[in-house]
Structure 1
Amino acid sequence: MSRNVYKPPVQKGFGQFIDAMVVLALVYLSLLAPLLMGGTAAESAATEHKAKPTWEELKQNDVMQAQWEKLGHTPETAEPIVTKKFSYEVEPLSLGITIAVIAGYFIFMLKMSDREYREVINERFGPRVGKGD
């Protein structure tokens, strides 16, 4: 009894290129989307700049001051970093859209994987397997 060696279908180079470009575009758009949908926390936090801040005005102790200086900062260059207030507000609409996109992608992947799994089983073992499901 000779056994047929299974040879899976091979994706062409052009198909791999398209897949890579789609993934790259999705990553780029996912990183760009928050900027397009309302800016950043840095834009919404307006701070007043004093003439010459000191480490004491910035409420930095000696240890903190030494670490800032190791990083090459002076009180003037560290002030925007220290005084910037971060916004940790969750926007329900953005959260809902994110959840919907992730859930939709997950369902899509499950359906595609199931279909491809059944195709491989049918190619390998014949069309009779998997029809009863």
Structure 2
Amino acid sequence: MTTDYVPPVQKGFGQLVDSVFLLLLVYCSLLAPLLLKAPDKPPEAQTAKTQVSWRELGQNPAMEAQWRKLGYDAEQAKPIITTRFDYQIEPVSLIVTALVIVGYFGFVLRVSDRQYRQVIAEKFGE
């Protein structure tokens, strides 16, 4: 006589804990690079305020018009135009993120293996 297999059901509280844990891991992995980033250098002191022109900033008349539509003058736009985005990869952040992902993958693999073996044992008996 064979009985139908009924898999164990995870309770709602367990699902909530799993969801919150995953959300926390994602949040921490996204926040960690910001927390580990070196503080920005203080702005350079300007002894004499010089007038900046759009031409010095490499902006043509069409670009200037767009900046003005956004409410910027040349002085206000200068830090935005002259500051370049930093696309450098930070090794510590990369390693921490990789370790979190690999660790979680290993955890899921071990738990899945254990559950798979349990199902096989229940279904076919050892």
TM-score normalised according to structure 1 size: 0.67
Q: Could you say which structure has the greater relative contact order, defined with CA pairs below 8 angstroms and 6 or more residues apart? A: 2
- Contiguous gaps of at least 5 residues in structure 2: none
In 1: Cα distance, 2:71 partner to 2:35 partner: 31
- Residue 67 of structure 1: CA displacement? 4.3
Q: 1:28 maps to what in 2?
A: 27
1:126 aligns with 2:124: yes
Deviations 1:100-125 (A, max 9, x none): 332222222222222222222333x2
Matched to 1:92, the amino acid is P
Aligned to 1:113: 112
SS at match of 1:25: helix
**Alpha-carbon distance, 1:46 to partner:** 4.0
CA distance in 2 between partners of 1:39 and 1:108 (Å): 32
CA distance in 1, matches of 2:62, 2:115: 59
Unaligned runs of 5+ in 1: 129-133
Contact 2:57–2:82 (CA under 8 A) maintained in structure 1: yes
RMSD: 3.0
Of stretches 29-38 and 54-63 in structure 1, the one that deviates more from structure 2 is 54-63
User: Number of residue pairs matched?
Assistant: 123
TM (norm. structure 2) is 0.69
